[in-house]
Structure 1
């Protein structure tokens, strides 16, 4: 058995890290309520499987955390969960369809949402570098429980964020030559 890593695999992981870095920083600078930092993780997970997604998410979280957004380091477990799940659910051999994309997005999003909610609540008390923190503060100001406000905002923004990434994978699948 050949244990060498093929160069094309490294290219895909590097592309995924680049997509995550650019998307995440774009969302950070524009204070968007979505994150755009998992597009590459989901793409690589769909192409290379769970380990490829995990490696891409972990390395992009490290890169972003040490260069532009320290908060990314704390959310590494979220990237890892999304990488694993996107690899398991999107590399299963079943192409995405308009009927199943909503459910797959939910299955990829929900565990990451729970993880991110715990991190945001326990470590940062609802205030992070993301544009979605504004909505958490608004809900808290209107009297909502902080944990519930964080989870609600995280659920909505994570779903939209993952839906964007999975739709990109869907369109790439549709346009690629097999």
Structure 2
């Protein structure tokens, strides 16, 4: 972002609120996906990697200080998602289908999230996906592998859903339509 306009600031603030509301909804409902990066991806796709990173960090900070302390620890994942979405969607460094873009956005963040989950929290977080980790672990899978496999599956589903929503939203906004076609 070269010069931030009031329009961009307003959309980024809306994106932060979107992250907080959707992330808390997923947490409250104990969904196996997170929904806390939809706004991050929206900002990154509309304005570039820096906007995505700023939106993700702001969301993690506010959520971590208000409703879910775990969110603070996963701020590096928000940074990664903002960066990757900005590169793949805003800068269009890869022209492939959404299904592949979602995977490319997912993989780096999954490594980071898995490390955080295993090293800091012993495999258990506030997310609904922790239940799946415990089931796999109870079936005999080692905890690190259980965390990684669940994280990969839930992250991919989460990022694909978020990316589909973001691209759909940007396609109906005239000033962003050309960016995502």
The TM-score normalised by the length of structure 2 is: 0.91
* Cα distance in 1, alignment partners of residues 107 and 169 from structure 2: 24
Say if 1:165 and 1:137 are closer, same or farther in 2 by CA, change over 3 A: same
**Structure-1 residue corresponding to 2:127:** 130
Offset at 1:61? 0.3
Offset at 1:176? 2.9
The TM-score normalised by the length of structure 1 is: 0.93
Report how many aligned residue pairs link the two structures: 174
Say if 1:111 and 1:4 are closer, same or farther in 2 by CA, change over 3 A: closer
Counterpart contact for 1:95–1:173, Cα < 8 Å: no
**Structure-2 residue corresponding to 1:47:** 46
**Structure-2 residue corresponding to 1:19:** 18
Offset at 1:173? 3.4
Offset at 1:169? 1.7
Is 1:175 paired with 2:167?
A: no
Say if 1:94 and 1:119 are closer, same or farther in 2 by CA, change over 3 A: closer
Offset at 1:4? 5.7
Instruction: Provide Cα deviations, 1:36-93, integer angstroms capped at 9, x if missing partner.
Output: 0000000110001000000000000000000000000000000001011111111025
Q: For structure 2, which runs of at least 5 residues remain unmatched after alignment?
A: none
Give me the CA root mean square deviation.
1.7
**Structure-2 residue corresponding to 1:90:** 89
Instruction: Provide Cα deviations, 1:98-157, integer angstroms capped at 9, x if missing partner.
Output: x61111000100000000000000000111000000000000000001000000000000
* Residue correspondence of structure 1 range 8-87 to structure 2 within 5 A: 8-87=7-86
Counterpart contact for 2:39–2:55, Cα < 8 Å: yes
Q: For structure 1, which runs of at least 5 residues remain unmatched after alignment?
A: none
* Cα distance in 2, alignment partners of residues 162 and 59 from structure 1: 19
* Cα distance in 1, alignment partners of residues 61 and 97 from structure 2: 32
* Cα distance in 2, alignment partners of residues 4 and 130 from structure 1: 37
* Cα distance in 1, alignment partners of residues 94 and 10 from structure 2: 23
Offset at 1:7? 1.1
* Cα distance in 2, alignment partners of residues 176 and 132 from structure 1: 34
